[in-house]
Amino acid sequence: MVSKYTLDYAKQLDEKDILKSFREEFYLKPDSIYMDGNSLGLLSKRAERTLLESLEDWKKYGIDGWNQGNHPWFYMAEKLAEKIAQLVGASHEEVIVTGSTTVNLHQLVATFYKPEGIRTKILADELTFPTDIYALQSQLSIHGYDPQTNLIRVKSRDGRFLDEGDIIEAMTDDIALIILPTVLYRSGQILDLKRLTEEAHKRGIMIGFDGCHSIGAIPHLFSEWGVDFAYWCNYKHLNGGPGAVGGLYVNRKHFGTMPGLAGWFGSKKDKQFDMEHTLTQAESAGAYQIGTPHVLSCAPLIGSLDIFLEAGIENIREKSLTINQYLIDLVEFELENMGFFIGTPREDIRRGGHVSLEHKEAARICKALKENGVIPDFRAPNIIRLAPVALYTSYAEVWKVIQILKNIMSEKKYEKFKNEREVIA
């Protein structure tokens, strides 16, 4: 029997991988192992093709590209929504591709934050990505409330994870809105969205989720769970390209709610060019668009999303779990007594699409990894995030990464670097 800690074993896993053919869809550097797909996914050949096709539409048709060509622009956001809806467990009417993570959060809070009586506070958590906090502070200030007192952040017991019980306990009578991540960006913990949504609704509180670190990595059932709204970026696991247009979900029970930030692309399609000064909003999540779609930023998603629909999000999740577990197993075997701590949940049901290795020399180690052909991700003060992505990372690559990391630690190759992050971490 081949030991699971050998390259031969990793190659055996690759041979059995039902998703292995999708690796050929992506541009992979032969002298590099990419482990940062949870921050920016790699370019696929299909995404490149659909971007070039959209450029050709512009070249060939000019303004008539709005309704002609390979990918007409006027309904592009809706066409993309039909694909993404299958990944988030929603009807296509409940999803739209638009804006960015932060713009969409501003839109949704402006729409659904309705302070009344003692219900004036917004509940978030202390481990969430900073942009969400900045947006919530801004929205509270716009409404005339002090963010210091009206933005409640649930504490973490250990600085890594959140306890759903603590979140539920914080759902007090003065909470008007709850905003939480689906997956914590540092530790990779998955929150129990179904339970949290049920508990929020028992208390008459609306709840929304930031799906940036889960979309494309794990299945969702937003509609079934009754989630009020959600928002996300499309450039991480979905490989939409740097700055790709984001997405949002609004449960159909809220259709007809006037957008807090109205714009002409929130119109019903057949009314938009009537140019009336009264908004006739779309009877779908499309109502929460603001401006004209960024066509050339949407275009790569056309090709990228087709890959996900072919691969199947359940298959993607299954491989993600096994390849991340393989990474964890190798870390425990090869890097024992080298100062690493696995700051990611061990249970499959609680672990997202990346593994967080904590080490006091994390910034220096990340630089050494890059010098040795591995692209990791650093999060201050002490986290090395490694993301084996189901569609394009092989088990053999994971094995090689851990051997490189072991060599870096054994020979102290990291010591020549400063233990501080670069301008972009």
Cα 164 off chain centre by: 20
CA dihedral (316, 320, 160, 164) in degrees, to 10, reads 50
Determine whether the annotation assigns residue 111 to a binding site: no
- What Rg, from alpha-carbon coordinates, does the chain have? 22
Determine whether the annotation assigns residue 14 to a binding site: no
Determine whether the annotation assigns residue 264 to a binding site: yes
Determine whether the annotation assigns residue 235 to a binding site: yes
Determine whether the annotation assigns residue 71 to a binding site: no
Determine whether the annotation assigns residue 101 to a binding site: yes
Determine whether the annotation assigns residue 58 to a binding site: no
Determine whether the annotation assigns residue 292 to a binding site: yes
Burial of 62 (0-12, 13-18, 19+ CB in 10 A): exposed
Is the omega angle on the peptide bond into residue 147 within 30 degrees of 0, that is, cis?
no
Determine whether the annotation assigns residue 359 to a binding site: no
Task: Answer yes or no: are the C-beta atoms of 355 and 383 closer than 8 Å.
Answer: no
Burial of 92 (0-12, 13-18, 19+ CB in 10 A): middle
Determine whether the annotation assigns residue 326 to a binding site: no
Determine whether the annotation assigns residue 213 to a binding site: yes
Three-class secondary structure assignment of 240-281: CCCCCCCEEEECHHHCCCCCCCCCHHHECCCCHHHCCCCCCE
Task: Answer yes or no: are the C-beta atoms of 402 and 327 closer than 8 Å.
Answer: yes
Amino acid letter at 179? I
| Cα–Cα distance for residue pair 230/67, rounded to 1 Å | 29
C-beta contacts of 309-313 below 8 A and 24+ residues apart = 309/83, 309/86, 310/22, 311/19, 311/22, 311/390, 311/391, 313/86, 313/87, 313/216, 313/218, 313/219
Burial of 325 (0-12, 13-18, 19+ CB in 10 A): middle
Contacts of 15 (CB under 8 A, 6+ apart): none
Bridge partners (DSSP) of residue 387 are 36
Query: Phi then psi for 38, rounded to 5 degrees?
Result: -80, -5
Which residues does the annotation place in the binding site for pyridoxal 5'-phosphate?
101-102, 129-132, 210, 213, 235, 264, 292
Which residues does the annotation place in the binding site?
101-102, 129-132, 210, 213, 235, 264, 292
